[in-house]
Every structure is written in C-alpha cells, then in structure tokens.
Amino acid sequence: MNQILLVLHLFGFGGAVSSSVGNIVVMRLIGAAPGDAPVLGKVPPMLASVARGSIGLLWLTGIIMVWSVFGGPGNLPGLFWIKFILVLAVTAAVVMIGLAMKAARNGDTGAAARIPLYGMISSGLLVLIVIFAVWAFANV
C-alpha cells in the first residue's frame, strides 16, 4: 500500500512540475509571438487545473503517508519540516496563480503581469522541495 501511495505522490509531483514549467514556457512563447497569444493563452488555465489537481493529490497522499509510513508527524525527520514549509509556500503560489488568473480574466493587467513571476517562484520552490525531501528521507 505504501508503494502505491508513493507512486501516486510522485505522479502528483510530476504533474505539479510539468504544469509549472509548462506555464513558464507558454508565457515566454506568448511574449515572443504575441500573434499566437489567442491560441497559447488557452493553455495556462488548463495547466493551472493540472497544478491544482496535482497539489491536491500531493496533500492527500502526503498526509496519508505521514501516518502509514511514519506513524504520525512526531516521527518525521527534522528536515521534513523545512520541506513542509516549502510545500505550504508552493501551495500558496498555486493559489496566487489561480487568483491572478481570475483577476486577469476580469481585466486586471497587473494581475496578469504577476502570473509568470508566481510560476517561476513555484518552480523554484518545487526544486527546493525535492532537495529537502531527499535530504529528509535519504536515510529513512
């Protein structure tokens, strides 16, 4: 059972990473070829949906594994808590992207301009999450 949870957790992580990096690529393409923006502009909302679903899967499988693998939060390695703070931050970044996308659809150009920044922040946080996850669980 724990192996299935870990596989699902890694699928969630893959979806989160691909969404984050995909949005950065699409935003750069839109900047480089504004004429393609009507078509390319349809991709970020789809990737945002993938990101939200992926984050949800990560939270679900992660919480279950805290108890099924470690017997509760009290048994987790210290570096896990740094990873956890980064998970909270990437979750907040995904929420901010969603809010900015909604505001952008309502004509807020400032919100639209912040979306690529939030995407880059979430990508960087995902890299740090991997680093701290490996450090936290390498010897477990």
CA 89/CA 93 separation, integer angstroms: 6
13: helix, strand or coil: helix
For the stretch 73-131, pLDDT in tens is 999 999 999 999 999 999 999 899 889 989 988 999 999 889 888 888 998 999 999 99
Grade residue 140 by pLDDT with cuts at 50, 70 and 90.
Answer: low
Whether 15 and 51 have beta carbons less than 8 Å apart is answered as yes
CA 85/CA 82 separation, integer angstroms: 5
CA 40/CA 32 separation, integer angstroms: 11
CA 7/CA 51 separation, integer angstroms: 17
Domain ranges (residues) in the chain: 2-137
For the stretch 35-67, pLDDT in tens is 998 999 899 889 989 999 999 999 999 999 999
Give the global pTM. Answer: 0.86
Average pLDDT of the chain, as a whole number: 92
